[in-house]
Amino acid sequence: MKDILIDKRFQFIHEVIGGANFYFSTSYNEVSFKIDENDGILNINKLKDIMNLKEIKYLKQLHSDIIKVNPKGEEIGDAIICKKRDIAIGVFTADCAPILIFDKDTKAMAAVHSGWRGTYKLILLKTLQKMKEEYGTKAENIVAYIGPHNGVCCYEVGEGVKEEFKKEEFYNNKSIFEGNNLNITACLKYQLNSFGVLEQNIFDDNLCTYCAKDYKLHSYRKTGVNSGRLFSFLYYS
């Protein structure tokens, strides 16, 4: 994991794994990718031009388990799948988890937005299943990277949320809580393991959006409604 500065303004945590470029933005220089604000759209377009990408695809997110395959325009959903060279796909977060996925064999990609609702609805596992259905993706060819999100150190949830997770059969007998704190990372890794993704192909930057010291990161829980948005995306050339 290394950080890079693009155009002296955009700071990203960057990795190249399996031939794909994985990028996770920070809030360095107060940069935000909130797409309902002009600056957010301008920043997306600037990235597209700077990185010489054909397109950057993203969705209007709503904490669902809706998955879109190669969407046209700004569709509604929380996971996006694509298999096109030099086209980036990404998700916006400010405490929820971004997960970027690349199939080293078929070159299919996915970007997933998973807060507690998406995690409860198993959106990550469903996305992997959709990649298998659409492109024949096999577990052994998957690389998955979990980006900055509210860690178990800081992600306290109410009793109602805990009860919801107890009702979900998938999480039975799985350690996903520390007291009242939900371990999103553990939940996501259980979903990856369930699909058969190899441990050595699962990456996690271990950055909490609320309490990280090494990077500035947008956090809705810390800042409230005025919080900016991080943008996590991947592409291959």
Q: Looking at residue 215, what is its pLDDT? A: 96
**Which domains, and CATH codes, for the chain?**
2-236 (3.60.140.10)
Q: Looking at residue 190, what is its pLDDT? A: 99
Q: How far apart are CA 96 and CA 228, in angstroms?
A: 13
pLDDT more than 90, % of the chain: 96
pTM (2 d.p.): 0.97
Q: Looking at residue 88, what is its pLDDT? A: 98
Our CA dihedral for 100, 113, 151, 27, rounded to 10 degrees, sits at 80
- Name the pLDDT band for 61 (thresholds 50, 70, 90): very high
Q: Is pLDDT above 80 for 197?
A: yes
Q: Looking at residue 2, what is its pLDDT? A: 86
Q: Is pLDDT above 80 for 194?
A: yes
Q: Looking at residue 144, what is its pLDDT? A: 98
Q: Looking at residue 74, what is its pLDDT? A: 84
Q: Give the closest residue to 102 by CA, choosing from 237, 234, 1.
A: 234
- The better pLDDT of the pair 2, 49 is held by 49
Report the pLDDT averaged over residues 38-44: 96
> H helices of the chain, where?
38-50, 116-120, 123-135, 159-167, 184-195, 220-223
What is the rounded average pLDDT for all residues in the chain? 97
Q: Is pLDDT above 90 for 49?
A: yes
pLDDT tens digit string along 134-173? Answer: 999 999 999 999 999 999 999 999 999 999 999 999 999 9
Q: Give the closest residue to 16 by CA, choosing from 160, 194, 143.
A: 143
pLDDT tens digit string along 103-138? Answer: 999 999 999 999 999 999 999 999 999 999 999 999
